[in-house]
Amino acid sequence: MTTPYDIPAKDLIEGIAKKLEKDANIEIPKENIYSKTGLDRESPPTNQNWWHIRCAAILRKVYINNNIGVERMREEFGGKLNRGSKPSKARAGSGTIARRALQQLEKAGYITKIRGRGRMLSPKGRSFMDNTSKEVMDHIKSYYPGLDKY
């Protein structure tokens, strides 16, 4: 059985994002259209489907880490803040984006909330990830020659 561990992250996230675009529960909130994704960024994202890509990346992180909260998700999507002549510092990403994406994934049924421990994948979310990874694996076998063993 193919799992998200077997597939390159970029290809898996693109495949999940394409499926999430068809889901009516996953859409960019109007409050986040012009928001930056973190303190380390200078401007908002320019990609049209950045919200679906972020939701797909969050879904993959939840699958890999079993359970994860908003604060940990902020750390995962953070970056280096350029402070001029002073050394750069690590800064967390946007909490609003992480929280709203997790809430939408929860509303869609892919994630469940565990009180005091964060969020984890629901059975529907786990099967969604496994099925998508199988589809992506079938698609990318042609241009990754080492994947024939899966």
pTM of the entire predicted model: 0.89
Q: Where are the domains of the chain?
A: 4-149
Q: How far apart are the first and last CA of the chain?
A: 8
How does pLDDT run across 11-25, given as a tens digit for each residue? 999 999 999 999 999
- Measured between alpha carbons, how far is residue 56 from residues 22, 87, 121, 147 in Å? 13, 32, 13, 22
8 Å CB contact between 63 and 129: yes
pLDDT digits (tens, 9 = 90+) for 42-70: 888 888 899 999 999 999 999 999 889 99
Domain 4-149 has CATH 1.10.10.10: yes
DSSP bridge pairs for 90: 80
What angle is formed at CA 68 by the lines to CA 50 and CA 36, rounded to 5 degrees?
30
Question: Has residue 149 got a pLDDT over 80?
Answer: no
